[in-house]
Amino acid sequence: MSERPIRLCVNGRMHELRLAANATLLLVLRELGYTDVKNGCEKGDCGACAVLLDGVLVNSCLVLAQQADGRSVVTARGLGTIDDPHPIQTAFADAGAVQCGYCTPGMVLATKALLDARPDPTDGEIREALSGNLCRCTGYGQIIEAVRLAAERLRAGDGKEAP
């Protein structure tokens, strides 16, 4: 089995790893300690494992870690912390968009990807952008409001540069 050295930048931090080919990005991220990336199904059905790979929303369960060699990954923790949360994260917390929280890291990243491309999305665009992130608790209503709230706040300039 081919083990190959790769370099992976996660939330601005460089990792040098030797990995077997069959290691998925999801598995590797979690083993590195990025447990905010959640395993919900491991086959691309639920979006709980979503990360930004070079800024693009992907299911980390469907990316081999070796395919991410030389690339940059952002997880929810890379957007913000308890002491310094990203406006998207505070919007989620404020709007009641967080119940059990298991879908939340993926939702937050899907929101980031959406707002980067469309800073003023319609409800339809929001729903479509989140359609790969399943939530079983909220019924999506307050999540969509959180995205709108985050969009407003970012447009008003409470912005924060992503790593």
Partner 1 sequence: MTLPAFDLLVPRTLSEALEVLHESPEAVPLAGGTNLLVDLRGRRRTAGCLLDIGRLEELRGVSVDAGWIVVGAGTTIAEFTRRGVIVEHGAPLSAAARVFAAPPVRNRATIGGNLVDASPAADCAPPLLALDAHVELRSIRGKRLLPIDQFFVGVRRTARKPDEILTAVRWPIPAGRSAYRKVGRRKADAVSVASVAVRAALDESGVCRTVRIALGAVAPIPVRAREAEGALVGHRLSPDAIAAAAGFASETAQPIDDIRGSAAYRRRVVGVIVRRLLEEVSREEDR
Partner 2 sequence: MTIEPKPLPEYHLPPLRQVGRPLRRIDALGKAVGATVYAADVSMTDMLHAKVFRSPVPSARIVRLDVSKARALPGVTCVLTGHDVPEAKLATDMPGQTGREQRTGSDAPVLAADIVRFCGEPIALIAAETLEIAERALERIELDLDPLPGVFDPHAALAPNAPRVYGEDNVVARWTIRKGDLAFGMSRADLVVERTYRVPFVEHAYLEPEAGTAWVDDQGVVNIRVATQVVEHFRTVARALGLPENRVRVRGTMVGGGFGSKEDVTVEIFLALLARATHRPVKLVYTREESFLATAKRHPFTITHRTGVTADGRITAARIEMLADAGAYPYLTPYVLLYATGMAAGPYRVDHLHVDSVAAATNQPFTSAFRGFGGPQAAFAYESQMDEIAKALGIDPLTVRRINYLRTGDTTGTGQEIRSAAWLEETATRAIAALGGRTPDGPRQRIGRGFASYFQSYGRITWFHDTSRAWVGVEQDGSVVIRCGVPDIGAGQSNSLCQIAAEVLGVPLDRTTIYTTDSAVTPLAGTSTATRQLYMSGNAVLQAAQVVRQSLLMEAAAAWGVEPGRIDLFDGFAVVSGEPTRRIPLAELARRCAATGRALSHLAQFNAPFTDGIDPETGQGDIWPDFTFGAQAVELAVDPETGEIDLLKSAACHDVGRAINPVAVRGQVVGGSHQGLGYALMEEYAVAHGVARTPTLAEYLIPTSCDYPDTAAIVLESGTGIGPFGAKGIGEPALTPAAPAVANAVADALGVRIHDLPITPEKVLAALDRRRTETGAER
Is position 76 an interface residue for partner 2 (rule: CB under 8 A)? Answer: yes
x-marked contacts with partner 2 along 103-142 as a string, rule CB under 8 A:
xxx--x-----------------xxx-xxxxxxxxxxxxx
- Identify which of residues 63 and 135 has a Cβ nearer to partner 2 in the complex: 135
Question: In DSSP terms, which residues pair with 10 in a beta bridge?
Answer: 13, 73
- Identify which of residues 43 and 70 has a Cβ nearer to partner 2 in the complex: 43
> Cα–Cα distance between 71 and 127 in angstroms, integer?
28
b/e per residue, 26-40, with b = 16+ CB within 10 A? bbbbbeeebebbbbb
> Cα–Cα distance between 47 and 113 in angstroms, integer?
13
> Interface residues with partner 2 (CB under 8 A)?
30, 35-43, 45-46, 48, 75-77, 79-82, 85-86, 88-90, 92-96, 98-105, 108, 126-128, 130-144
